[in-house]
Amino acid sequence: MDINEFARKVCGAVKEKLSGEYNVELKEVRKNNGVLLHGLLISSEGQKAVPTIYLENFFRAYEEGMTFAEVIRRLLDIYGQDVPVGIVDMEFFRDFEKVKDRICFRLIGRAGNEELLREIPYVDFLDMAVCFFYAYQGKELGEGSILIYHSHRKLWGCGIADLMELANRNTPLLFPWQCCAIEEIIGRMVKEEYRQELMAAEIPMQVLSNRQQLNGAACLLYPDVLEQLAEKSRADLYILPSSVHETILLADSGREEPEKLKEMIVEVNRTQVAPEEVLTDSLYRYDRAKKCVELVM
pLDDT tens digits for 112-166?
Answer: 999 999 999 999 999 999 999 999 876 555 567 889 999 999 999 999 999 999 9
Using CA atoms, how far apart are residues 132 and 116, in angstroms rounded to an integer?
12
Using CA atoms, how far apart are residues 146 and 99, in angstroms rounded to an integer?
11
pTM greater than 0.85 (yes/no): no
Using CA atoms, how far apart are residues 156 and 141, in angstroms rounded to an integer?
23
pLDDT of 198 over the 60 cut: no
Q: Which of 6-20, 46-60, 136-150, 217-231 has the highest mean pLDDT?
A: 217-231
- Band of pLDDT at residue 186, cut at 50, 70 and 90: low
- Band of pLDDT at residue 84, cut at 50, 70 and 90: low
- Band of pLDDT at residue 205, cut at 50, 70 and 90: confident
pLDDT of 272 over the 90 cut: no
- Band of pLDDT at residue 192, cut at 50, 70 and 90: low
- Give every CB contact of residue 28 below 8 A, 6+ residues apart in sequence: 36, 37, 38, 39
